[in-house]
């Protein structure tokens, strides 16, 4: 397998040149266990659908090497920059992002070619001794690197201590196993992809605990014009839903790390969208919910998000959360 300077060794080629066109598609990924796992899932699916040969290329990102908090680095978008640079430079042909980590602003020369079917969008509590959120004792130390989760923890349990942490899934779970923390909050999708659902002591309902826009979904980004490379993996209902969630972020001019939760769904043709904005300390929150028939408008994701964002701003979201702008 040909390797570039930022390629990790020993990534196998996936697929068979005899199975299809013989083309080789290089997929870029971060080097974390979770990123590699979800990229391997995409690589296998793309090879099966199209017959192309896949080469996985690992790219180091600032978010992986820095020990600073995500908020101080400018939010989870720090994970996307190096991957996008590799794509623009032609070192890879596709990059796989966790959609919740991808900035909403368009990147010149790049397009999201596919959003595969979403998996579990919920957050999960992983606590010592099988504890649930309500069972945690006063003063319990709960770790997260997400301002949104921190605000939700403060809102739900103002009597606990929220601890800012970094690191991969195993590192965070080790904080609990080794007694440094009483619990951590992580994405259920990531735990599932790593086979670590056994660590979950409570799944947090999306009704009361909306998660990051796009959580549980992946985005396959390509150079504009190359969308057909990955279009076979696109799942249209997922794309409609997560684009609505992400439009709320864009319309509020809020970044990936803003304390905003959103959840969409499609039921009998109705596109539902709920969004909630928190103050950083969790003492205030605003919620907006709207729905429309997706078939009745050419841009259902944008229209429902405009209604939600307008209501949040009208009710004062900019007063206590780092959002701005008008829809």
Q: pLDDT tens digits, residue range 284-319?
A: 999 999 999 999 999 999 999 999 999 999 999 888
What is the pLDDT at residue 253?
A: 84
Closest CA to 86 of 101, 96, 77, 76: 96
| pLDDT, averaged across the chain | 88
pLDDT of 17 reads 35
Q: In CATH, which superfamily holds the domain spanning 123-203?
A: Periplasmic binding protein-like II (3.40.190.10)
Identical fold for domains 24-116+217-234 and 238-319, yes or no, is: no
Please, which pLDDT band fits residue 5 given cuts at 50, 70 and 90?
very low
CA distance 7 to 324: 39
Provide the CATH topology of domain 238-319.
Double Stranded RNA Binding Domain (3.30.160)
Catalytic sites, residue numbers: 101
Name the β-bridge partners of 288.
275
Helix spans in the chain (H) = 33-50, 62-65, 70-73, 81-88, 147-156, 169-177, 188-193, 236-251, 300-314, 317-320
Q: Is the pLDDT of residue 132 over 50?
A: yes
Helix, coil or strand: residue 186 = strand
Per-residue confidence (pLDDT) for residue 78, from 0 to 100: 60
Cα dihedral sign for 223, 258, 36, 4? Answer: positive
Give bridge partners of residue 278 from the DSSP assignment: 285
pLDDT of 257:
62
The yes-or-no verdict on residue 170 having pLDDT over 70 is yes
Beta bridge partners, 161, equal: 141
Question: How confident is the model over 34-71, as pLDDT tens digits?
Answer: 999 999 999 999 999 999 999 999 997 654 444 444 44
How far apart CA 106 and CA 103 sit, in angstroms, is: 8
Q: Does domain 24-116+217-234 have CATH number 3.40.190.10?
A: yes
Q: Break the chain into its structural domains and give their ranges.
A: 24-116+217-234, 123-203, 238-319
Rg (CA), the chain: 20
Q: How many CB atoms lie within 10 A of CB 163?
A: 18
Distance CA 208, CA 299 (A): 28
Take residue 229 and report the two structure tokens written for it.
């490379």
Q: With contact defined as beta carbons under 8 Å apart, do 92 and 26 qualify?
A: yes
Contacts of 37 (CB under 8 A, 6+ apart): 193, 194
> What span, in angstroms and rounded, lies between the C-alpha atoms of 261 and 150?
12
């Amino acid at each position: 397998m040909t390797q570039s300077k930022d390629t990790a060794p020993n990534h196998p080629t996936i697929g068979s040149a005899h199975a299809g066109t013989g083309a080789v598609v290089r997929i870029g990924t971060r080097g974390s266990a979770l990123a590699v796992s979800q990229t391997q899932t995409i690589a296998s699916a793309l090879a099966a659908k199209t017959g192309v040969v896949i080469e996985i290329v690992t790219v180091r990102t600032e978010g992986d090497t820095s020990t600073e908090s995500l908020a101080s680095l400018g939010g989870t978008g720090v994970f996307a920059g190096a991957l996008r640079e590799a794509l623009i430079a032609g070192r890879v042909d596709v990059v796989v992002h966790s959609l919740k980590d991808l900035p909403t602003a368009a990147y010149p020369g790049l397009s999201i070619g596919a959003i595969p079917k979403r998996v579990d969008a919920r957050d999960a509590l992983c606590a010592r001794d099988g504890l649930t959120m309500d069972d945690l004792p006063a003063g319990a130390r709960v770790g997260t690197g997400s301002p949104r989760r921190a605000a939700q923890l403060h809102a739900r349990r103002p009597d606990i201590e929220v601890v800012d942490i970094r690191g991969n899934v195993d590192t965070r779970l080790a904080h609990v196993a080794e007694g440094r923390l009483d619990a951590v909050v992580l994405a259920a999708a990531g735990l599932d992809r790593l086979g670590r659902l056994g660590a979950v002591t409570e799944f947090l309902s999306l009704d009361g605990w909306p998660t990051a826009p796009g959580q549980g979904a992946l985005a396959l980004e390509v150079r504009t014009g190359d969308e057909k490379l990955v279009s076979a993996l696109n799942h249209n209902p997922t794309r409609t839903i997560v684009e609505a969630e992400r439009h709320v972020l864009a319309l509020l001019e809020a970044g990936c790390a803003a304390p905003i939760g959103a959840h969409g769904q499609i039921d009998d043709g109705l596109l539902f969208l709920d969004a909630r904005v928190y103050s950083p300390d969790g003492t205030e929150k605003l919620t907006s919910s709207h729905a429309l028939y997706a078939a009745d408008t050419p841009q259902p994701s944008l229209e429902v998000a405009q209604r939600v964002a307008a209501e949040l701003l009208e009710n004062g979201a900019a007063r206590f959360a780092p959002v701005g702008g008008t829809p």
